[in-house]
Each structure stands twice: as C-alpha cells, then as structure tokens.
Structure 1
Amino acid sequence: MKDYLRKHPQVRTIRVAAADLNGQARGKRIPSRYAEKAVKDGTRFPFSVLSLDIWGEDIDDSPMVFEQGDQDGVLKPTERGFMPMPWLEAPTALLPIWMFRENGAPYEGDPRHALNAVVKRYKARGLTPVVAMELEFFLIDDSGKTLQVPPSPRSGKRRKAAETLSIRALDAFDTFFTDLYDACEAMDIPADTSTSETGLGQFEVNLMHCDDALRAADDAWLFKMLVKGLARRHGFAASFMAKPYAEYSGSGLHTHFSVLDAAGDNIFDSGGPKGTAALKQAVAGCLAAMHDSTLVFAPHENSYERLVPGRHAPTAICWGYENRTAAIRIPAGSPSARRIEHRVAGGDVNPYLMLATILGAALVGMEDEMEPPPPVTGNAYAMDLPQIPSSWEAAIDAFENSDMLYRFLPKELIRNFVLTKRQEMHYISDLTPEERIELYLDTV
C-alpha cells in the first residue's frame, strides 16, 4: 500500500471510506503524508456511523448512540488497497476500509463483514461462489424543475424516448462512456458490456464474473461511486435510484452466481439444461428467503415504485428457465456455465448486504436440501403466485420478524437496519414527491 503513494507523488490527499448499511461511503479526508498512520494503525469513528439514515443523521432510538456512549470502532484497510478517484479534479487516492472492534473482532454491523462471514461458510464446505453483476443506471439532467435526459454532448439534442439496445444512444454519450471505461481500468473494476436500456436515458454496464464475492461487491460499490462522480464532471447526474420516472421501467441490479467445488467444477452443472440438485436447492433457499429479505433488495421508499407488474421487475416469488418475468431465472447456455440469476434487487441496494443475503439464502437451501416449487413458464405477472411485499412498511416488518434471515445475517445488523429504515420511513412522510426524488437522486 505504501508503494502506491510513492509511485504517485502527485496524490496530495487520500480518502478512507467504508460502506454503511445504505451503501453510502462514510470516512475521512487525510493529507497523504499521514496516510501511513491510517494504513498501520487504522482510523476511528463511531460504530453508529455505519447505520446512519439516508440523510446521514443518527438513529434516534439506537442503543449505540447515547446508551452505549457512541463508542468508536477501528477501521482497517481492506485487501483492495489504494486506488485513484478519477472523478475528482485533484489527484486523490481512495483507501477502502472496514470496521473492527477494539479487540480485533469484526464489527457485526458492517455489511462487508456480513458478506465475508457468508463466504467463509462456503469455504468451510470447500465451495467458492462465482459472482457477476449487471448494474442499471440513469443519466439525468437535474438542473431544472423536472428531470430529463441530458443533451447529447455530440449533437446537443435530447432523445426523449426509451432506446432499448440502441447504438445511437450509446454513441450520443461516447465521451462519458470512454472516460468511464478508462476510469474502471485505472480502478481495476472489470467493466464489460454496456447497453442502452428501456428507461429514459437508462444504461446498463455488466461487471465480469469473479470468484471472490467480496471483491465482486467491492467492484459494484466502487462502480456506483465512480459513475455518479464522473457524470458530474461531464455536467449531468447519474443515479442508481430504483425509479426516477414513473412512466418508465426502473433500474435493477441483477446478480448471477454459480458455485465451484474444491476441484474447480461448477456444482450447478448437470451436463444438460436443467442443472443439478444443488442448483435447485440453492434456488429453493433464495425463494424461501425472498419475502423476508425484500427490504435488502428494495431498501428505500422509491424502491417499491419499481416493483410493479409488467415493468420488467419481478413481483412474484417464483423461478423459471430462461424466463425474465420470474424473480429467479436460470439462463440458457453452456452447461459448464450453469448459474442462477437473482433479479429482484434495484440499483439502489447496498451490494455487500445484497450479496450476503443472496448467497446466504442459497447456502441455507443447499444445507437443508430444500426443494423448490415447479418452475414457471409464461408470464409470471399473470399467475396466482406468492408475492414480494408491495410496500416499504410491509418489507420492514417482514425483515424484522424473519426467522430465516438470522441464519445468515448477524443479529446486530438486522436490528440496526430495521431501526434505520423505520426512522427513514417516519421522516420521509414529510417530504413532497419532488423532495423525495432529490433525496434519492444523488444518494443511492
């Protein structure tokens, strides 16, 4: 880590940052001459910081604040080390960190530790999850009273329509996407294919599959930070909020995963299109946890505007082969690449918490040898099936009262997340629709 700053003497300041439960980067700015201390000794800030609400406020009834004296945690660098922050004007380095207790134990309210604990359970069984993510986002001109597509830097025109898989839409923002891919290269984020999507000014970038789930979540978290920051340098906004436009589809964050055994073989590969018993058990686990864990996949008030029938986001708790109306899709293709696609999450999620939940539920399904219901064929929106909670309040209640989630998420994290979401729900009721959009546009 010290070598990075020696090789980049132009870097005058660093940021140390951890992801809170909402996926917000919380941390400090430090002059680079004091960076060695942050690497060696860590940095400190209160445990309560990782469960602030979406405004960055303390949780009123959290026991961590006044009841426990708002004690500090110790934050240490992750394995990622320093990386550039290409969206800033001055040369700056980012050092991702995560939180520990004074005695060196992981802090269970840290979402990155929650994912790490799930991955360790896979490793104990000789298994390795392989993960890839598809992140959708909107490019938005938010300079006026209403949101609209930014004018193309090339033509100066606005295309006020969805342009699904349009090369023209991608080329209209070629300078932005060229800078984005260059920045991903500099930050070692494995950005692959980009496409234009069905929303107004909506795009998707796929991140390549990775056999390190922590790194995959890091990549998604860093990518979201990069896209939002870089868009501002280009004179417009980028947002991963679930649904900025009522009349268009929202943004999802689809997760593909398979599992390798100790020999490096895909345990979902049956040699044919249907997959193995392990695949079906993992599907069953994901379905069994889906109702109670919806809050993870749809963490904000705006999230539930995306989860409506017929808008390319799942609403029924079901699975199917090559069926995008189902919450769980088994894509076609080579049997050696047989995998599960989890389609519920919006773009506004915390990637660490989302991945801990998906992989944790799948592991419980395999441990308990669960059996899924029959796969659906046809339009899942038109079928009489169990439904994902349709309101934020119902999702919070289901998350709080779940028995299954305690099998793979820490008790302290569950408590903190519920307290955070209940406070947000209380205060957001005072906001106008315009104020709610403004809140989520830049934060999530």
Structure 2
Amino acid sequence: MTWTANLPTPFHDYLGENRLDEVECIIGDLSGIARGKAVPAKKFAKQSQFFLPNSIFFQTIAGGWGEAAGPEGWIEPDMTLVPDMSTATAAPWTGDWTLQVIHDAVTREGEPVPMAPRNVLKRVVAAYHARGLNPVVAPEMEFYLVGRNTNPANPIEPMMGRSGRPAAARQAYSMSAVDEYGPVIDDIYDFAEAQGFEIDGITQEGGAGQLEINLRHGDPVKLADEVFYFKRLIREAALKHDCFATFMAKPIEGEPGSAMHIHHSVLDQDGNNIFSAADGSETDAFYHFIAGLQNHVPSTIAVLAPYVNSYRRYVKDLAAPINLEWARDNRTTGIRVPISDAAARRVENRLAGMDCNPYLAIAASLACGLMGLEEARAPRPEYRGDAYDADEDIPRGLFAALELFDSAERLKDILHPEFARVYSIVKRTEYEEFLQQISPWEREHLLLNV
C-alpha cells in the first residue's frame, strides 16, 4: 500500500515491520465524541471519501435526538467525509495495527458542513486570516483518574493508588501523589509518543486523583485535534489499569472541578506577537483582546460549559473562576495574563470546563477575542486582590447560558448561524432529558418532607 509512505513519521515508527490492518475514519460530534467507521486498510486505500448521515450532529449526549433537521425534514442525508491525512496517527491500545484519521465533513457540493465542530473552528481561524492574523493557542487539560464506576447510582470515588489507598485530595503539585498512579501515566506517555504528541508536562492538581496535562502552543485546529485524540488515549490508558479517566467538569462532590484553560496569542503576517510592541510593552491589541473576552464570553458559556454538571464547577473559592476580571499572574480571575517575555505574551481564558468540545471551546474563545479586536474597546481596569470577592459575571445554569447564546448575533455569525441553530436545539433537548431524571438529592430531601 504505497499511500502509507506519506503517513507521519511517528506512525511509521510505531508500525515498524508490521502490516497495517485497519483504519478508523473518525469525526467529532457536538459533544466531542468520536463518530465514524472502521474499515480494512485495503478498502481505505481504494476510497478517497466516506459517508455518514448529518444526523450525527443532532444527537444528544444521552443518545436522544434534537429536532434540528431543518425545513427538509428528518431525511438524514449523507455528508461526505474527506480524510485529513495530516491527522493520521496510531491507535496504540488496539489489539491490531490500527490507524486513526480525522475527517472533515462536506456537502455533496463540496462546501463545509456548518454543524461540524472542526469546520466551526476552521471558520473562526479563517476570520483571523482575513485580517492578516494568525491565532495561536495552548490548551491545558485537567481530568480525574477514578475507580471503576459501573453503577451510575453510586458516587464517583477516587482511584486506588499503588499504595493500596485511594488517591488523596489537596496534594497539588505533589510528586508522590503522581507516583501513586505512575503506571497509568506511563501508558499515557507511551500512547502519546506512539501518536506523535508532545506533552509539555503532567502535574498533580488539587483534587483526589486529578491531573493536568499541558500541551505546546500552536495552530488552533492542530491543538484541538490533539485534545480530541488525547481524551480518547487517556481513557484507554486508564482502562488498562482497571480505573476510569473522566473529563466531567465536576465528577466528585467537594473536590475541585476540571477545566480546559485556553492560552491565546495572535501573530501578524511576519510572525510578530501583536500583543507586544517593539519595545516589549503591551499594545492596544492586547487590551482589546481582553475586552473582547470580558464583553462576549458570557454569551459563549453554553459552549464552554455545555452540560448541567458543568455549572457545578463554578463555585467560589474552589479553583474555578466565577468572574471575568483580568489580572497579571492571578489565578482567581477568569482572564489571566501569565508571566512571560514579550514574544510569548498571551491571555488565558480560565472559564472552559474539560467537558467541552475542544474545537467549539477554542472557536468560541477566539471569536470573543476577534470581536474585541474589531470593537477596539478598553477592558475594565486590572483587578487587584482575590477576584472571588468580585461580582459574578457568568450565567449559573445551562438554560440561562443558552438564552445569552441565542441572543448573541455577532458571535453566531462568526461561528456560523446554522451551527448556532443546531447547537441550541440539541442542548435544549439535552436539558429536557436531564429534567426527566430524578436525582438522589430529590429522593432524600423531597420524598417525605414536602
């Protein structure tokens, strides 16, 4: 199969002298779940495109369907899936020699399908390019390693460490805590190396069994692809060691939530960071970008916090911001400017939960910064002190967040109006599905007391 000669080097290193058996043709849905089909490698070599119904973008996280088909009705027409071979990478946890390839969704006429999350992000990046700008991002991924939870009625418990004791909380940055689940981390490293991904670092966070992985900065689409892949490889590494990896925003009561912090910078056509002047000082564009986040992130919360559980993370004094204040080197603010030299000056959005779709969260955050550059407004003054004492700036529930999203016309135009229409319908359907479930809290406190 001569087509394999052009596959990325890490895959060749992984495959060695073995024969490629299977290719997974995948695409991320609105929730970030990998959908697609697996085909024999010989069949993949003979076909340049594959097909899936557009209804994969109407499906809820619970398996239901949003009534978002449009005026043509529920006919489930096929989309054409076109492989992006630059994303080809191993699936090293499989029992055979398998290649994964992310595909782009296009119509029969060759136009991007607007509901596809990867297309949404590409559209936002193109809006920057139209202004002669190149956005750069660096995501941080927080997640928990927990015990196997096979009965959803039971609370999630921390995983058992190598000492035979459950992972302990409040051990942030502890190397001993990281050693407790070293075998899982070793497999994460091995899987990442086989897939050609570079990890900037792994640290223990404040929760019991909570880790953070930092990725190197780069092109937004490439980084979103990596987060999409990483979530799958981390889950697979955990399963090898009889535990679960969860990216829920708030999996364990009383523990900190898990975020996907997004660092942004913007380069001009010469590769210069527009947030820094020639003398190293902060530019007007730097402040305009921050103002864009302050003014427009509330309308994106339905994307950054896409589930009812997401809002359990926004708790005062528990490691998640509840405001849109900005400050230098202050982790209590929703918008943080990390310490850096002028060339690496960047702005960190700390609002997104790790349960987000990485394509959509990065797209929404970049869209806010772009609107800030367009509007050229000044941000609020830099916050001094503990920003948990500041006023709350974000909606505290999914329904309120969707109301803001639906009314944000410029944001929807940047992301794509058809995507915004479908997204809102699907998320409202998920909310209705949630309301049909009766929680243990309701049974405990309402059954005999009301």
How high is the TM-score relative to the length of structure 1?
A: 0.92
Moved more, 330-339 or 77-86: 77-86
Distance in 2 separating the partners of 1:421 and 1:80: 31
User: Unaligned regions of 5+ residues in structure 1, if any?
Assistant: 436-444
Which runs of structure 2 are paired with 1:284-433 in the superposition (5 Å)? 284-383=291-390, 385=391, 387-433=393-439
Which runs of structure 2 are paired with 1:7-406 in the superposition (5 Å)? 9-38=18-47, 40=48, 42-59=49-66, 61-64=67-70, 67=73, 69-143=75-149, 145-152=154-161, 154-210=162-218, 212-270=219-277, 275-383=282-390, 385=391, 387-406=393-412
How much does 1:162 deviate? 2.7
Judge conservation of contact 1:86–1:230 (CA < 8 Å) in 2.
Answer: no
Distance in 2 separating the partners of 1:81 and 1:306: 32
Judge conservation of contact 1:318–1:328 (CA < 8 Å) in 2.
Answer: yes
How much does 1:417 deviate? 0.7
Q: Secondary structure at the match of 2:217?
A: strand
Distance in 2 separating the partners of 1:33 and 1:114: 32
Distance in 1 separating the partners of 2:36 and 2:62: 15
Judge conservation of contact 1:192–1:207 (CA < 8 Å) in 2.
Answer: yes
Residue type of the alignment partner of 2:382: P
Residue type of the alignment partner of 1:156: G
Q: Secondary structure at the match of 1:113?
A: helix
What are the superposed Cα offsets for residues 152-182 of structure 1, whole Å, 9 maximum, x if unpaired? 2x32222333311010011111121111112
User: 2:446 maps to what in 1?
Assistant: none
Judge conservation of contact 1:306–1:313 (CA < 8 Å) in 2.
Answer: yes
Judge conservation of contact 2:263–2:347 (CA < 8 Å) in 1.
Answer: yes
Residue type of the alignment partner of 1:301: V
How much does 1:347 deviate? 0.5
Distance in 2 separating the partners of 1:270 and 1:21: 39
How much does 1:63 deviate? 2.4
The root-mean-square deviation of aligned C-alpha atoms, in Å, is 2.0
Distance 1:404 1:248, change over 3 A: same
Distance 1:184 1:419, change over 3 A: same
Residue type of the alignment partner of 1:230: A
Judge conservation of contact 2:321–2:350 (CA < 8 Å) in 1.
Answer: yes
How much does 1:386 deviate? 5.1
Distance in 2 separating the partners of 1:168 and 1:48: 47
What are the superposed Cα offsets for residues 22-55 of structure 1, whole Å, 9 maximum, x if unpaired? 11111112122211244x1x11111121231002
User: 1:438 maps to what in 2?
Assistant: none
Judge conservation of contact 1:273–1:332 (CA < 8 Å) in 2.
Answer: no
Residue type of the alignment partner of 1:34: K
Q: Secondary structure at the match of 2:110?
A: coil
Distance in 1 separating the partners of 2:187 and 2:297: 37
Judge conservation of contact 2:328–2:338 (CA < 8 Å) in 1.
Answer: yes
User: Unaligned regions of 5+ residues in structure 2, if any?
Assistant: 442-450
Moved more, 337-346 or 366-375: 366-375
Judge conservation of contact 1:64–1:70 (CA < 8 Å) in 2.
Answer: no
Residue type of the alignment partner of 1:196: Q
Moved more, 244-253 or 73-82: 73-82
Moved more, 315-324 or 162-171: 315-324
Moved more, 277-286 or 185-194: 185-194
Judge conservation of contact 1:214–1:352 (CA < 8 Å) in 2.
Answer: yes
Q: Secondary structure at the match of 1:293?
A: helix
Distance in 1 separating the partners of 2:220 and 2:112: 18
How much does 1:272 deviate? 7.4
How much does 1:274 deviate? 6.2
Distance in 1 separating the partners of 2:346 and 2:334: 14
Q: Secondary structure at the match of 1:242?
A: coil
Judge conservation of contact 2:335–2:348 (CA < 8 Å) in 1.
Answer: yes
How much does 1:399 deviate? 0.9
Distance in 2 separating the partners of 1:421 and 1:176: 33
Residue type of the alignment partner of 1:190: E
How high is the TM-score relative to the length of structure 2?
A: 0.91
Residue type of the alignment partner of 1:146: P
Distance in 2 separating the partners of 1:53 and 1:344: 23
Residue type of the alignment partner of 1:260: L
Residue type of the alignment partner of 2:160: P
Residue type of the alignment partner of 1:89: G
Distance in 2 separating the partners of 1:374 and 1:397: 28
How much does 1:296 deviate? 0.8
Distance 1:274 1:254, change over 3 A: farther
How much does 1:375 deviate? 1.5
Residue type of the alignment partner of 1:276: T
Residue type of the alignment partner of 2:243: F
Residue type of the alignment partner of 1:117: R
Distance 1:155 1:389, change over 3 A: same
How much does 1:20 deviate? 0.8
Q: Secondary structure at the match of 1:291?
A: helix
Judge conservation of contact 1:242–1:302 (CA < 8 Å) in 2.
Answer: yes
Distance in 1 separating the partners of 2:258 and 2:392: 23
Judge conservation of contact 1:16–1:95 (CA < 8 Å) in 2.
Answer: yes
Distance 1:162 1:271, change over 3 A: farther
User: 1:442 maps to what in 2?
Assistant: none
